[in-house]
Chains A and B, each alone.
Chain A
Amino acid sequence: MKAIILAGGQGARLLPLTLDRPAALLPVANRPLIEYLLEHLARHRVNEATVCLHHRPDRLEAHLGDGTRWGLRLRYALERHPLGTAGAVRAVADGSTDPVLVAFATALTTADITRALARHRIRHAALTLLVAPAAGAGEIRVDDEDRIVLGDAATSVTYDFIGLAVLDPGVVSLVPAGVPCDLIEDLVPGLIAAGAAVHGSVAAEPSVLVRTPADLGLANFAALGEELPGLVLPGFEARRGVRISRGAFVHRSARLIPPVLVGANAEISRGATVEATVVGDDVIVGAGSTIRNSVLLARTYVGRGLWLDGALVDRDRIRRAEAGTWTTVRDARLFGDTRAPLLVSQIAAMLRRRVGTRPAAGSPNGAGHALSTERYTDATSGV
């Protein structure tokens, strides 16, 4: 089965996280979002996919390669001028007579695609959107016959689109060529107005379509809390709810309160407390700091004695859930990049003091990649 993965979006609502990377590479539980999607597609017998690229196409193509890692054959289509989600599908559709599975690259889902595809065929639908019960107002209305309806139909229930859709090949040819066309805002109303069967397939499994920083936080917490069965999380489970990745160091006096994921080469320093948090790769949490309900993205340095609750931190940028805005902290003693030139020397000196030797080569922050038993003993004893 073939799929079209829409990974070209600018991720405007995710700025500044998407300044230097496509949204599909944003980390969820320390792995790029799109990796979970590819694994999920492969589980549902997708063996070939076209990835539509636009924003930072080089990074995505370099990361995914030919898809062999996931048992997929990936090919890439570069959109020089974005034509919207439906327009991108039209541009890469190859005239196949099979239904086309369209997946948004920022969809974190374990929805049953096989079942949705079977329903699509049974109903002879033109388009089937996979939806989930809405957390808020909901954007898709589905009636009691699973048909998507426009307006406020009395018998309808609102759902959220989860980023997966099945299109009849005949529908693809209806999308106007060379003109921007959105799947939800343009194609769905157009098909309904034309009398085509547009269905919603309600997924029982929880899903998050990452469109905002808040969604990214939700996706991380969903993965961390193992709410999405089948996601392959990095690291090993030191104890229930506490995962430690390779090269991570947790000081014996630090406290990890589940669920916690400590990323590769990360360091949780003396007396720090980390609770319900994703600690990214190459992150340093300073001595005595308390981090709760937060996501620390890769390479973030958190200084000593700080207190964070409900924050998304990307190096020196912080977004707190209640504020909803990003703040840049220009104080290297509080927040920073663990690979920044100023900090490398400080970290190396700290490691030399702690280990008593020079840090292992080959690690970005000098923490070393070695899978040492002592390190893990430290990590688990500090839990």
Chain B
Amino acid sequence: MTPVRPIARVELIARQIGAVTVLTPLGELTVPTATVFLRRARGLGASVTQPLVAVDLSGVRRIDSSGYAALVALLRHVQRRGGELCLAGLDHEARLLLEIMQLHLLFDVCDDVSAAVEALTAARASGEFRDALMA
């Protein structure tokens, strides 16, 4: 009898570190789960104005092109609201896919969540400084 592959699931945990919303998907970011992830992510931290979002992928067992498509859609969503998004915690395979699909040119990638929070906070601070200068 052919073993039945369990249905892929993704859970999404959101937490706030300073001004940064850290989204941690757990499970798979693949065809069956990508849209679910995107819908939940949009409903969580990415819905405020000028959101700073770090997506921690260290809990993702597997990510494919659909998962990255969802992340690109989330990035666009965040950018439309004047915010910024950073990826963190990518394993070797996820990084390879990112580079093969040339998405490393699109995303800011940090090694871990603390680096992502630091980078996003610094980017916001420099942006506000720039805005103040422009004004």
B64 within 8 A of A: yes
CB–CB B64/A320 < 8 A: no
**Smallest beta-carbon distance B62→chain A, Å:** 7
Known contacts A323-B92, A325-B92, A327-B92, A334 near B99 by CB under 8 Å? no
User: Inter-chain contact count A-B, CB under 8 Å?
Assistant: 35
CB–CB B64/A307 < 8 A: no
| Interchain CA distance A16-B41 in the complex, whole Å | 38
| Interchain CA distance A323-B96 in the complex, whole Å | 10
Known contacts A323-B92, A325-B92, A331 near B100 by CB under 8 Å? no
Partner of B99, one of A305, A307, A330, A333: A307
Partner of B65, one of A308, A327, A334: A334
CB–CB B65/A333 < 8 A: yes
CB–CB A330/B62 < 8 A: yes
**Whose C-beta in chain A lies nearest to the C-beta of B101?**
A306
| Interchain CA distance A323-B101 in the complex, whole Å | 17
What residues on A are CB-neighbors of B99 within 8 Å? 307
- Give chain B's interface secondary structure class: helix
Partner of B100, one of A325, A330, A334: A334
CB–CB B100/A307 < 8 A: yes
CB–CB A320/B96 < 8 A: yes
B2 within 8 A of A: no
CB–CB B65/A331 < 8 A: yes
**Whose C-beta in chain B lies nearest to the C-beta of A334?**
B65
Q: Pick from A318, A323, A331 the residue with the most CB of B within 10 Å.
A: A331
CB–CB A307/B65 < 8 A: no
**Smallest beta-carbon distance B79→chain A, Å:** 21
CB–CB A330/B101 < 8 A: no
What residues on A are CB-neighbors of B97 within 8 Å? 329, 331, 334
B93 within 8 A of A: yes
What residues on A are CB-neighbors of B65 within 8 Å? 303, 331, 333-334
**Whose C-beta in chain A lies nearest to the C-beta of B30?**
A331
| Interchain CA distance A331-B65 in the complex, whole Å | 7
**Smallest beta-carbon distance B45→chain A, Å:** 27
Task: Count A-side interface residues using an 8 Å CB cutoff.
Answer: 15
Against B, the Cβ 8 Å flags (1 = close, 0 = not) of A301-339 are 001011110000000001010010101011101100000
Known contacts A306-B100, A308-B100, A330 near B64 by CB under 8 Å? yes
What residues on B are CB-neighbors of A303 within 8 Å? 65
CB–CB A327/B96 < 8 A: yes
What residues on B are CB-neighbors of A329 within 8 Å? 93, 96-97
| Interchain CA distance A278-B71 in the complex, whole Å | 33
What residues on B are CB-neighbors of A305 within 8 Å? 101-102
**Smallest beta-carbon distance A115→chain B, Å:** 46
What residues on A are CB-neighbors of B101 within 8 Å? 305-307, 334
**Whose C-beta in chain A lies nearest to the C-beta of B93?**
A327
What residues on B are CB-neighbors of A323 within 8 Å? 92, 96
What residues on B are CB-neighbors of A306 within 8 Å? 100-102
CB–CB B96/A318 < 8 A: yes
What residues on B are CB-neighbors of A308 within 8 Å? 100
| Interchain CA distance A330-B97 in the complex, whole Å | 11
**Whose C-beta in chain B lies nearest to the C-beta of A303?**
B65
**Whose C-beta in chain A lies nearest to the C-beta of B92?**
A327
What residues on B are CB-neighbors of A320 within 8 Å? 96
What residues on B are CB-neighbors of A334 within 8 Å? 64-65, 97, 100-101
| Interchain CA distance A327-B97 in the complex, whole Å | 10
**Smallest beta-carbon distance A346→chain B, Å:** 15
What residues on A are CB-neighbors of B93 within 8 Å? 327, 329
A47-73 contacts to B (CB < 8 Å) = none
What residues on B are CB-neighbors of A327 within 8 Å? 92-93, 96
21 A–B contacts from the bound complex (CB under 8 Å): A303-B65, A305-B101, A305-B102, A306-B100, A306-B102, A307-B99, A307-B102, A318-B100, A320-B96, A323-B92, A325-B92, A327-B92, A327-B93, A329-B93, A329-B97, A330-B64, A331-B65, A333-B65, A334-B64, A334-B97, A334-B100
Closest 5 CB pairs of A and B: A331-B64, A307-B102, A306-B100, A333-B65, A327-B96
12 A-B pairs besides A305-B102, A320-B96, A331-B64 with CB distance below 8 A are: A303-B65, A307-B100, A308-B100, A323-B96, A327-B96, A329-B97, A330-B62, A330-B64, A333-B64, A333-B65, A334-B100, A334-B101
A contacts, CB < 8 Å to B: 303, 305-308, 318, 320, 323, 325, 327, 329-331, 333-334
